[in-house]
Amino acid sequence: MTGDRNAVLRRTLGALRAVRTAPAPVTGALIASCCLIFAIGPASGLDPAYGTGSALLPAQRAYFRHWGVIPADLLTGAPRALLTPVTALFVHGSWVHLLGNMLFLYVFGAMTEERMGRVQFTLFYAGCGYLALLGYAAANAASGQTLVGASGAISAVLGAFLYLFPRARVTSLFPFLFFLPLRFPAWVVLPFWAALQWLAAGRAAQGPGVAYLAHVVGFALGFAFAWVRFGRRTRVRVSPAPAPEGEKQP
């Protein structure tokens, strides 16, 4: 029996290493697209055609309103507004916003993509991202403020990762522990992150700001999709499990 368990463990570890080292072209393309779109847009401040200083602000607002989600417009069902949850996934409001989202996608996207397959991962990312932004818009139906960013879709990736790789270890930095890098299993880190988003969403009663509710909706959708689509048979149960390739702060 011990020999059988060791053989199963070796096969499981081998499969996990194969997932970690396999290329993830969809994840790479999403990161490259978001970075390129941000660089040529007004939020980056790199294109002098948009102006500088105070002259840049009107251009940024117009850009976000054109490509981002405006809940009050989206819920009217206008054709152009119905496309904005897709375009908003590739638009970011600042360098910090962009780099934070891309870091999450880089860390958790590759393994999730490899497990799902390229086509399914692409549809999953776009579909969950759309629904996360739609859910946020429904909760803020009267708002005329603009919502941009890929965080709803990336939160779905985190939810799916939690189901598929619950024991994979992730390095995390916690402010209350003086930012010491500590490694925890995904089943500890990701539910903790989701709980923080839920608490923050509950406090954001004054209207849109950071789209915490979109994070919560995306995370729940991603976990539910992985649960329904893959079932218990495809979950990797390894203890201890290696960290994802290029592990970073979640």
pLDDT of residue 170: 66
Q: Are 140 and 74 in contact (CB under 8 A)?
A: no
Rounded to the nearest 10 degrees, what angle do helices 186-203 and 212-230 cross at? 140
pLDDT of residue 153: 96
Q: How many helices (H) and strands (E) does the chain have?
A: 10, 2
Q: Which amino acid is at 142?
A: A
pLDDT of residue 49: 82
Positions in the chain short of pLDDT 70: 1-22, 169-189, 191-194, 196-210, 232-250
Contacts of 33 (CB under 8 A, 6+ apart): 90
Q: Which domains does the chain have, with CATH numbers?
A: 2-234 (1.20.1540.10)
pLDDT tens digits, residue range 76-108?
A: 888 999 999 999 999 999 998 999 899 889 988
Nearest Cα to Cα of residue 176 among 192, 187, 154: 192
Q: Are 153 and 129 in contact (CB under 8 A)?
A: yes
> How much is the mean pLDDT over the chain?
77
Burial of 98 from C-beta contacts in 10 A (0-12 / 13-18 / 19+): buried
pLDDT tens digits, residue range 215-244?
A: 889 999 999 999 999 886 555 444 444 443
pLDDT of residue 10: 52
pLDDT of residue 34: 97
pLDDT of residue 175: 42
